[in-house]
Structure 1
Amino acid sequence: MIDPDFGSKYVTQFLGYIKKIKAPFHDHTYDEVIYILEGEGVVHHGNLQTKIKKGSSIYLPPGTIHRLENKNKDVELQLLGVFCPAGSPADKDEK
């Protein structure tokens, strides 16, 4: 069981919510997998744009510049994300 006391050096799991905005473009030094729990939008990755909706799964390799955009003004884009190995955009060793 992974919990705040035990933790994991191998993965970070998080819930994310994107309201009526676009997340800023960014990249990571680790793999990111995103599963859309609710809503619909677009993932901008590299020079591509891919529509996403509830049930979509996204894999972003390290170094992939990306952002998520909510396309529904009435419903938050809700996602479950996993970083591997463990990390966070807030970590000081991020780019």
Structure 2
Amino acid sequence: MPSYDPYSVTQPQSKGTPPGDGRPGLWRRLRWFLLAFVIVVGLAAAAGYFSGVQARDTAQAEQAREQAAHQFELGLADMEAGEYERARQRFEYIISI
């Protein structure tokens, strides 16, 4: 039978983590929150960027359509006025848009 020595001090075996109540610490929770926050902000920024690009492309297409319609009206007016060369240039420009 092993003898009992009240004066011997034994250190508890460490498992790599300090003793606690088993809940993650404040710093660990804060890191996860910050990581999630950065990801959400990054996704929001990307969504805003692509939305802006799409809005710009739509506006450019609308502007080109309006310009083509205006040039077409001017081309018809040039044809009625007998300025066929200018009308031809306008219609070629419309095709190039």
Q: Say yes or no: TM over 0.5.
A: no
TM superposition score category, shorter chain reference: under 0.3
Higher RCO by CA contacts (8 Å cutoff, separation 6 or greater) = 1
Under a length normalisation based on structure 1, what TM-score does the superposition of the two structures give? Answer: 0.17
Structure with the higher helix share, 1 or 2: 2
Larger Rg: 2
Under a length normalisation based on structure 2, what TM-score does the superposition of the two structures give? Answer: 0.17
